[in-house]
A and B are shown apart, each in its own frame.
Chain A
């Protein structure tokens, strides 16, 4: 479960959707209503957030310094300060929607059938993002140019507008629906805002870190409730962290020239297969 959560949290394939679907399809004796499930999930998220912090450790130091400097000065002077403020602007809508809507939405759509349907919707969204992106590339592109050349015509994360950062941040709320991928919708939102694929993934990962970390840290006291096997859960969290780190490295390399389409097709296929298995019995 730790490996699954760590890998699928950053891949645009919905970790929540897989967490709802797989135990049901594989008949794992694993209940999400169990009181010890929340602490387990908390530790897995902390593992993922730690992996992202390690991956971007140098960048986070510069971002935090830039944030403090720009906040005190009341003025943005460098790209890093702008990125720090963009992350704040993107995090606020995600935080507001997360605190007020997350548990309500999750409880409304917690069944495997709904997760499978939303997984198909997620796939359609990924494919849709790429259709829009290809149009933008055709409008601005030169015939015969290579993929890396096409990508170079699009922006870095620091150049996104504040309104776009807020919209990308708000897109994260869609991921409360099991089957919709947080990284998928934020990478897609970044593409619509005119970012390079790799930069959209980078912005998505940077945006995810404070939200995942804060959500995890706030729930830490639950780990110390009676009957929680902390040792086993920490093992799961370490695996989640390793999987998340490897996934992020892979995705950042992949998005130098890769697109969202394979993940879109995977989600559509996995959603349809899950629906069939749930309907006719695995």
Chain B
């Protein structure tokens, strides 16, 4: 791996984007989007996470193995959330005889 050194300009732009997204998520929270306020909040949070991971944590320049490990970790988090919620969300969908 040849070391990449990002410019001060890149880091500054990323910081400004992160601060702008923080302001955006705070302001949009007071707008009534119904069910979509959670979606909006999480979409903005994921964008911020990607900015921090790709630029500040240098995932852009990382080896393929590191990228694979990061994606694999997120996959396990998705499994944790999906399997747990597939239980709690579907409770009561089908009547259980005797209850």
Do A and B form a real pair? no
Chain B residues close to A by CB (< 8 Å): none
